[in-house]
Structure formats: C-alpha cells, structure tokens
Structure 1
C-alpha cells in the first residue's frame, strides 16, 4: 500500500519569529559592516586633530617600460595603476610632503590602507622599512594593510618628507592609497580595524564558507540533489578567492593567478544563481542557460583581458556580472511573493543584499579611480547565503523527519492491524488443528476398535449365533476382546517416549496367554534412550506387531519358550525389537513356503512406524524382528497412519541371527 503524503505539520509558535530574528540579525550585521567599512577618508578618527591624511604626492618614474613619460607628475592619492592608460607597470617613487611637527615624547606611526605590489618606505632620506623586492618577480602586499613605525631620530622639527617607492604590474592591484600619519594611539586602532576587515574577518568567512561547502558537497554525494553541488562548488571557489589577496607570494604564475581570481567571481555568481533557481524550483531552463552562457562569456573576456592587458574588458565583465546576479534575484523575489516560505524569504533577502553589495563595489571601486583604498563588501555578502543554506538544510531535514514520523506512524498502524489479523488467523488455525486432532484421534480409535475389538466381537457373536454352547471358545473370544480393549487403552497411556515402559505394560497383558499356552517368556532388554516417535498410535502399532508375532508363535511354532529382546544401535540410532521362539521354525522365503495374512499384517505394522519387519529362521525356531529409527515419525507416515501399509515392501531375507 503506498504511503500517504505527510500532512503539513503546524508550525510551532517560535518559528513565526525566525524570519524577523533573521532580519534583525542581518540588519545588525550590515550596520556593523558599514561602520567597519566606511571609506577611510570619511572617518573622523582618520582626520582627527592628531592624525594627518596625506593625499598629494609627486610621482616620479624610476624603472618603467620604454616609452613611458619620465618626468615627475603631481598626483592625488589614491593612485590606482590599473586605471592608467596605458596600464602602468614598473617602479615609481611617490614623494609626499608631511606637515608634521613632532611633539616631544610622542611616538608616530604611518598607516597605509593599500599599497603594492612591493614598496619601500623612507622618511627624510632614511630607509624605514621595505615590503618585498623592487624587481621582478614582485611580491604582492596590496591585500594587506600596513603600519610602519617612524623613528623619532629621523623626524625633523619643521616638517617631513615621506618617500614611498612602489613596484607593480598590471592586474595585480598595484598603486598607492591615502596615507595617514599620526601618534601611535591613533594609528593603532585604525590598523586594528583594517586587519579585522581585510585579514582576520576574511579568514573567518573563508573558513566558514569552506566548511559549509564541504558539508554541501557531502549532502550532494548522499542525496544527489544538484543544488547542493552548485553551492558546494561556489563556496569552495569563493573561499579560495577571498584568501588570494592575502597571499604575498602568488602560488601560480601571475597571469594565471590573476585569471583565476577574476573568473572565480563570475563562477561564484553563476553557481549561486543556479542554486537559487533550484531552491525556488524554477521550472524554465532559459535562466539556467543564461547563467551558463554568462560564465562561458566571462571566461573568454577575462582570458583576453589578462593576456592583452585590457582593463576595459574586465570592467565590461564586472558589469555583466551584476546583470547575471540581478535577474535571478528578481525571479527569486517574485516566486517568494507568490509562495512565501521561510527559506525563500531568506534567499530573496540574501540575493537582494548581494546584488546591492555588488553594485556598490562596482561603482565605488571598479569604475572609480579613487576607490583604491576602499574595501570590497562582496566577500562578506556570502555570509547571508551561508545562513540561508543552513536554514534550508535545517528546514528540509525537519520536513523529512516529519515525513518519516508520519510514515512510521502509518506503518505502525498497518503493522498492528496485520498483527491482529494474523493473531486471529492463528487462533482459528489452532482451533481447527485441535478439532482436527480430536477428529483424527476419534477416527483412529474407531478404526482400532473396528479392526481389533470389533473383529473379535464378531467372532464371539458368530459362536453364539451358531449355538455353540462350549464355553471355552466363547471365553477365549471374550478374553481376546478384553485384551484388545486393554491394549488400546494401554496405548493411550503416557509413556514419556520410554520404550521399555511401553514393553513392560505389554508384558503384563500377554503373560496370561503365554501361561495358558505353557510357554515360558524370557525378557532380554538393554537401556534404550527416549524414542521420539512413540505416539499413542505408534505405541499401538508396536503392541500389535509384538502381539501378532507372539500369536503366530503360539499357534504355529509349537514353541515352549519365547525370548523378547530390545536393542539400540547407537551409531544409526535405530531400535530393534525381536521375538525369538524355539519352535519348529519357519521361513517365508524358503521355496514352497506359503505366506499368509500374518506376514502382511507384520509388514503393515512396521510400515506404520517407518520401520522394517524381518522374519528369519533360527536353529531351532524363528525370529520376528521390528526395526525403526529413533526420531519422530515423518509427516507422510503420520498422516497415512496404516493406510499405505499394505503397499510397503517386505524386506529381503536377512542373514540368520543366532
């Protein structure tokens, strides 16, 4: 029976507040990010009375490609080389006049939000610190904030000259941002905030993104839903990308390193968009094809831009990235309004915030030459998608558990119902078996009464009908009737599968007949284990076999002595009961010997026990032997009782046993 669909479980009261709590947490986080990422030039701490922001410098080429103008040129900081035409590369020196008159006992520091690739810092002609070599291959410090202590012995009382020499190459974010100089107690907090935003926070986000990406990959491996694969690849790519600016020494050739850095942004946008479309179960394939097409076009544009030194193509790609993220975000929002669910609401908010952050980064940094000192916000927008994925996984797991619980309850009810039906059927079968057993026992008793007691009573009645007034034959017939009745009753008595006890009961019944015939009975039995097949019916068949053998000996052998032996073959686990007489002897297999109904009766009794009847000649006398296995009767034998006994083969004559 198919499992019915799980009914929608009522939402607990606390769940209604989850979206609002998420919105409050998101708003709080955004406020914190805005406070931390406000442009350096806009923060009062940077422009305080004890800190000086340096924005004017004289830029002089030092070691540049042939054809580059060599004359000094005044510039306004920040100076971003990637926006120069043609793209700037090589080594440039920035001379900055610092209107600083040092105060006694005050230690001064220099803070540079961004500079690179490599740089050297000098104060009043004295080398203070150098970050990387000023020749190829360049190190890249452009992703790290820098703080440099200014030795008091190098400071002049009437003003300072700061010289920063920068070496860089295209598409490596080379340039020089604004520079701040001031007391250490002012510069240190600026450096602390910058390190958290540009370094420590990035490590935290990257680690969390990578962990969630691996978890998503494991989910995809287990349940094979492609939305988890999309998010896993996007997260792992993004975790690597946001760490790349922190690598001072590139881990690959610079063109390839830069190409992966730019392409990874496009790949992240395309994969997250595909993930979002799968979350809302978007039915059409057009948007998905658009995202794959955007990713292919982006890889082509960025390949050309990196190897052809074209910043314009890179800007075009960044603009296309906004469109590739904007369209799916709109579609997610539309579907959320049509069918509002907590997961969709969170996803739409994350998509809207991500698009807004992407536009902000594009306007403030990508197309703004003065944005060199700014921080990108996109690296932190992935936190919203992490929270969304965590909620979606938790929500889907909760739904799956509700479905499992519903299915478990359904199967529990079905199992209880089937169990009750089986118990009722079993009770009916048990009652039917009891009735059948009673009926079988009744029929068996009727058959035995008919075959044994009935035939003997018929003999007695025939004597009476003939008017035979001799008492001896009539008394013998009536005695036989009583013997048959006692034998049937004895067979019904419990013997606990003890053959010797059953034979002992039989001995008391046959002893009077042997005494009247003047025959001595010898009893030779050995210890025999319990015999599983000694049911009442089998016991009666055993009694009748022994009775038939003794009766034949009394009537035909002329014996004066009978020996009843019982042995057990421990190897084969077979029981043998033998009746030996010392009479004239008789072997039914000798030529000319006539076999009567007695042998057929013995054969029938043995077959009813799954056994073998053997008749062999002794010197003197005859042996009648019954052998049968110890185990329980086979079902076919038990069911057939004696009905197939007449068809059982009489064994070949065994070797004479002394």
Structure 2
C-alpha cells in the first residue's frame, strides 16, 4: 500500500521523524563549538610543533624523563605544524602491528594560563578525534596523563578525549602538552585541534560530539537490533508471507556487524584484529545483499537472476578476505571497502527503478536517501584517509532510511489489518443486528410465556402455602374447638398463630434483594408484638452479613418458617424470659456462609433423634427439611445452666439441597 493511503496520523508521524532527522544532520554538519559564558573562554589550539622520533617502542614511557627519545633535548628539530595535522596513508599494504616497529611522531604545544584558571569543576583537555593504527599517549608537564589501550588496530579513535587537568597543572601557570603517536609504517595518522579550558565551557561540546560519534550510534544499533528480533519473532509466528520480516532481521544483524568499529571503547573487543576486520567487511557486504532483497520484496518484483549474481559476488569477496589466507586486513581494509561499490550501485538502480515505476513519496524518498548515501560513503572514505579529521562519520546514519522504511511497512500492514478488521466488524455488526432483531422477537415471545408460567407457579405456591400453613392451622383450631370444651382451648392463641402464618406467607412475597437482614427485620416486625405479649424480651444483636444471591421468595419463606417454628417452640415450651437474635459470617463443611442464632434463657433443649419424634408432631422435622432445602443446616446447643442456642447456617453460594428436597412440600 502506498504512503498516501496510510492516513494523516502516520504522515504526521513521518513528518516529525524527518524533521528530527534533519535537525540531527544539521547538528552533525555544523559541529559543536564551546558554549560562551561568564567564565574564561577555553583555548583552541590550532598550532603545534611536530617531530619524528627514531624510537622503535610501541608502548609509551611513563614520563618524558624516562623516554629514550630526545623529546626534552635542546637540539631536537621541532617543526611548526597546523592542527588538524595528518600524515598520509597507503590504500593497501601487508604490515602487521605485532611484527614491525612503529613510526613515532611527537606533537608539542603550550596550554595558556587562561585555560587553566580555577573554576568549580576545574580545567579539562578536550581532543575531538585522533586516528591511526597504533597507540596514542598524552603528557602534561612531562608526566603521562592518558594512553590508548586495547587493540592497536581497532582502538577508541571514534571517541573524543576528555581529561581532567586539575591535578597535572598549576593555576596561573602555562603547561606543556606532548602527544606521542606510535603509528604502523605506511598507515599514517591524524590529530585534530585541541581544546583546553573550564569544564563548564567544554562539557556541552564534548557530550554532543561523544553522542554523535559513539553513543547515538550505539543506541540506534541497539534499537535496530531489537526491532530486528521483533521482526524475527513475527516471521517465526507467521512464516507464510513474512519473508520481509526475516530479511529485516538479517539486515539488522549485518548492519550491527558493519558498524562495530565505531563502537570500540578503550577496552576493545575480545577478538583478533584480522577477524574483527573481516567481520566488519562481511557485515557491510551482507547489508548490501539484504538491502537488495529487501527492496525487491517491498516493490513485489523479485529479481532471482540479479539476486543470484549478487550473492555469488558477496560470497566470493567475503571468502577471499578470510584471514586464513588473505593478507593483513589492517592495511587492506580501505581498499576492500571499495568492493562495496558495485553491489551498492545495483541497490541504487533497483531503488531508482522502483521509484520511477511506483512514483509514490515513500519510494522516491528511499531512492533519494540511497543516492545520498554515496556522497556520505565518499566523505567517510576521505575521513578514513585523514581528510577533514574533525568531521563525523556519516555511514552509521545511512541505514536510517531502511529503518524508517521498515517502520512504514509495518505501519502500513497494521493499518491495512485495521481496515480489514473494521470492514469485517461492520459486516458482522450488520449481521448481528439482523440476528438480534430476530432474537428480540423470539425473546419477547419467550418472555411472555415465561411471565405466564411464573405467575402460574407463584399462584400455585401461594395457594399451597395458604393451604399447608393457614389452612392447616385453622383445621387444627377447628378440631380443638369441636373435640374439647371452649374453656380448655385458647382459641385466641390459635387464631394468632393462623394470622402469623398468613403474615409470614405474605412477607415472603416482598422482594428482599438478597438481603437476609431485611428479611429478619420483617420477621421482627411481625412477631415482635406477639413475643412481648407472651412476656418475652427481644434483644436484636444482628451484624452486617454478605448478600445471599439465591434468596428468592421460596427460600425466604423457608427461612421465615424455620425461625417461626423455633420461636413458637420457645414461647410454648421453654418458659424463657429473653430471646436474643444474632447474625455473623461463618464457614461450614469448607464453604463460606452466614449464620442466624436465636438464644433463649429458658429450659435447655436438645432435639431427640429423628426416630424418636412423637407421632403427629413434625415441627423439628420440618425445620431440618427446610434447612436441607436451602443447602444449610441447623443445630440446637443446650447451655450448662439455662437456655438454648439455635443456629441456622446458610451458604453464600447457590444452595445444594439434599435429595429429600422434593418431598419437603409433602412433609410440611
């Protein structure tokens, strides 16, 4: 999909990215000068004296007094030179730093007293760049202050020198700086200009150059490699049609290999110099090869013949440069890098041809970027030959184009997937709307049928409760009146029980919204006057308990009937004076639940076994049967002196009634 179809947000993001890139390149081209301020200005040394020594030692002496050179001798023929100063190099050679003596070149310059003024952070020495195959050492007032370490070939040439002069100089007095460069014969070397002054003035320039020459390259390569690993994971998950992700991963690895020499610090790498050189060359060749195939995949125009020719060329150059039989790559590497020109021209031709055919902003920008990489490469080749030594290498930033292109491709595929998903979602939404309309009609019919069935079931339940509760009590009262004299029957008490049954049945129809305390409050309202009339004092000590989602009308009636039976037995048989209601959270049989306790101070009561229940008296059996229907349990605990504690435990989750629940209605 071309860039024009990506959307305004993506184009805005790309515009911001290009603006940032333009700003970064502007910083690179303009360089970094010290920031002026109220402190003394730093000294910028552009003149020095040079002398070629006859020393054959690679390692520098600890001090100039111990040196075998005539550095401090009065007759030493020093010559005035201008900084930056460079000694020419050969494009190819076969010298090995481990087997030949070096060419030693000395530089001498004076640091003015104004640059060594005492400041809060002290004076610093800042050298933007030095470059050679060999070693470098700095002496201040004859004492060794710094020397390069690690490999003589792949040293920290791309990192600026930043030294503290506070302990090596005296405020208000000039200092003499000597620079010793031990170079491989025929390779030459270069030294940039030198800055000396307060750290407050030079720190910004040093940090910016260090960022552009080393740290930013490291961050870019790290981000590039992370994105490459992400592309590899995408390819492993989706093999079909994901070759472009695999190619991007290979390209990120090759780019990292090709730029390793820009990331070398003072410690170097634990790898032989010739193999390290070959690794960077192989990475550069692999980058060009991967870029060619990546462009072919992006343009969806495979070129198998050209790809095969390019593959053979890259493999041949890489194998020919193997350190197993090739001459020393230390001096051959600049010449071998010219072998990148033919495949790079091929990549440029593919990019230009793709831009001509597609004529989209993305393809045109990519072709322009690849074309711009050639003058960048020539600039870096000149810099490697010590021309414009204070410039910054541009090659590590060339691959930003490929990096940006991959981001565009990934965003294009992501937005395409979003568009496909949005289209599928719209179609699915339309179909769901049609199905929803049909389901709504069906649901309306089912709801009407369910409403009718619910009304019928509720009507039958109420009728059954009226028959089993109030009707049974009225029949019992009628038999008592018929079979016994009226003087011996408390007709009013029997009628009160009938009215309580009727009220409890009506209360069970009120919605309680799973609130057990609301249900108990209704029971207290109904039975409180009757208990007080019987001479009982009711104490209400309930606590908040979790809601019971399963507490519907039928379950509420079971709870009310259980507590009604318990209270009736207390009034009739216990001779109690006080009753206390309590609620709490409690677990039973490994399940969370709540409990309702009714405590009285009457005669202790313990229920007999079910086999010893009196014939015709089913109160205790009904209590236990209703508790099982609710998935709970009941317990009577007689107290040591007087009183009994009745506990009703109910589960929090849906009840799991016992197998005898179906026969409950017959029992009651």
Q: What aligned pairs does 1:172-571 form with structure 2 within 5 A after superposition? A: 175-185=189-199, 186-224=201-239, 225-244=242-261, 245-247=263-265, 248-303=267-322, 307-309=326-328, 313-341=332-360, 343-362=362-381, 364-366=382-384, 368-407=385-424
Q: Distance in 1 between matches of 2:143 and 2:14?
A: 58
Q: Go from structure 1 to structure 2 and tell me whether the alpha carbon gap of 1:420 and 1:384 turns closer, same or farther (over 3 Å shift).
A: same
The answer to whether the 8 Å contact 1:98/1:162 transfers is: yes
Q: Go from structure 1 to structure 2 and tell me whether the alpha carbon gap of 1:212 and 1:139 turns closer, same or farther (over 3 Å shift).
A: closer
Q: Distance in 1 between matches of 2:327 and 2:35?
A: 38
The answer to whether the 8 Å contact 1:94/1:165 transfers is: yes
Aligned to 1:98: 109
The answer to whether the 8 Å contact 1:111/1:179 transfers is: no
Which shows bigger deviation, 343-352 or 230-239? Answer: 343-352
Q: Distance in 1 between matches of 2:404 and 2:433?
A: 43
Q: Distance in 1 between matches of 2:78 and 2:217?
A: 36
State the SS of the aligned residue for 1:51: strand
Pick aligned residue for 2:179 from 156, 164, 173:
164
TM-score with structure 1 length normalisation?
Answer: 0.52
The answer to whether the 8 Å contact 2:231/2:246 transfers is: yes
* C-alpha RMSD of the superposition: 4.7
Q: Distance in 1 between matches of 2:112 and 2:4?
A: 73
Q: Distance in 2 between matches of 1:314 and 1:115?
A: 15
Unaligned runs of 5+ in 2: 59-68, 71-76, 443-668
The answer to whether the 8 Å contact 2:108/2:179 transfers is: no
1:276 deviates by 1.6
Which shows bigger deviation, 381-390 or 137-146? Answer: 137-146
State the SS of the aligned residue for 2:46: strand
Pick aligned residue for 2:130 from 114, 118, 123:
114
1:49 deviates by 7.9
Q: Go from structure 1 to structure 2 and tell me whether the alpha carbon gap of 1:340 and 1:383 turns closer, same or farther (over 3 Å shift).
A: same
Q: Go from structure 1 to structure 2 and tell me whether the alpha carbon gap of 1:315 and 1:253 turns closer, same or farther (over 3 Å shift).
A: closer
TM-score with structure 2 length normalisation?
Answer: 0.51
1:154 deviates by 5.0
Q: Distance in 2 between matches of 1:182 and 1:378?
A: 30
Whether 2:30 is the aligned partner of 1:35: answer yes
Q: Distance in 2 between matches of 1:352 and 1:198?
A: 23
1:141 deviates by 2.8
Q: Go from structure 1 to structure 2 and tell me whether the alpha carbon gap of 1:296 and 1:26 turns closer, same or farther (over 3 Å shift).
A: same
State the SS of the aligned residue for 1:252: coil
Whether 2:147 is the aligned partner of 1:130: answer yes
Whether 2:30 is the aligned partner of 1:51: answer no
The answer to whether the 8 Å contact 2:93/2:332 transfers is: no
State the SS of the aligned residue for 2:403: helix
What does the per-residue CA deviation read over 1:283-320, in whole Å, with 9 as the maximum and x for residues that have no partner? Answer: 33233224313321331343369941367753343233
1:100 deviates by 4.1
1:394 deviates by 0.8
Q: Across the two proteins, how many residue pairs are aligned to each other? A: 405
The answer to whether the 8 Å contact 2:273/2:330 transfers is: no
Q: Distance in 1 between matches of 2:330 and 2:360?
A: 42
The answer to whether the 8 Å contact 2:289/2:310 transfers is: yes
Q: Distance in 1 between matches of 2:330 and 2:28?
A: 29
The answer to whether the 8 Å contact 1:108/1:182 transfers is: yes
Q: Distance in 2 between matches of 1:305 and 1:379?
A: 28
State the SS of the aligned residue for 1:370: coil
Q: Go from structure 1 to structure 2 and tell me whether the alpha carbon gap of 1:55 and 1:299 turns closer, same or farther (over 3 Å shift).
A: farther
1:277 deviates by 1.9
Q: Distance in 2 between matches of 1:340 and 1:307?
A: 45
What does the per-residue CA deviation read over 1:200-240, in whole Å, with 9 as the maximum and x for residues that have no partner? Answer: 21221122111111111112212232222121112123235
1:169 deviates by 5.8
The answer to whether the 8 Å contact 2:91/2:335 transfers is: no
State the SS of the aligned residue for 2:158: coil
What does the per-residue CA deviation read over 1:538-557, in whole Å, with 9 as the maximum and x for residues that have no partner? Answer: xxxxxxxxxxxxxxxxxxxx
State the SS of the aligned residue for 2:315: helix
Q: Distance in 2 between matches of 1:402 and 1:9?
A: 15
1:279 deviates by 0.7
Q: Go from structure 1 to structure 2 and tell me whether the alpha carbon gap of 1:313 and 1:226 turns closer, same or farther (over 3 Å shift).
A: farther
Whether 2:164 is the aligned partner of 1:149: answer yes
Aligned to 2:53: 60
Q: Go from structure 1 to structure 2 and tell me whether the alpha carbon gap of 1:170 and 1:278 turns closer, same or farther (over 3 Å shift).
A: farther
Q: Go from structure 1 to structure 2 and tell me whether the alpha carbon gap of 1:233 and 1:169 turns closer, same or farther (over 3 Å shift).
A: farther
1:60 deviates by 1.8
Aligned to 1:627: none
Q: Go from structure 1 to structure 2 and tell me whether the alpha carbon gap of 1:166 and 1:307 turns closer, same or farther (over 3 Å shift).
A: farther
Greater RCO, 1 or 2 (C-alpha within 8 Å, sep 6+)? 2
Q: Distance in 1 between matches of 2:45 and 2:342?
A: 40
The answer to whether the 8 Å contact 1:81/1:87 transfers is: no
Q: Go from structure 1 to structure 2 and tell me whether the alpha carbon gap of 1:118 and 1:276 turns closer, same or farther (over 3 Å shift).
A: same
Q: Distance in 2 between matches of 1:26 and 1:157?
A: 44
Q: Distance in 2 between matches of 1:290 and 1:374?
A: 36
Q: Distance in 2 between matches of 1:55 and 1:259?
A: 37
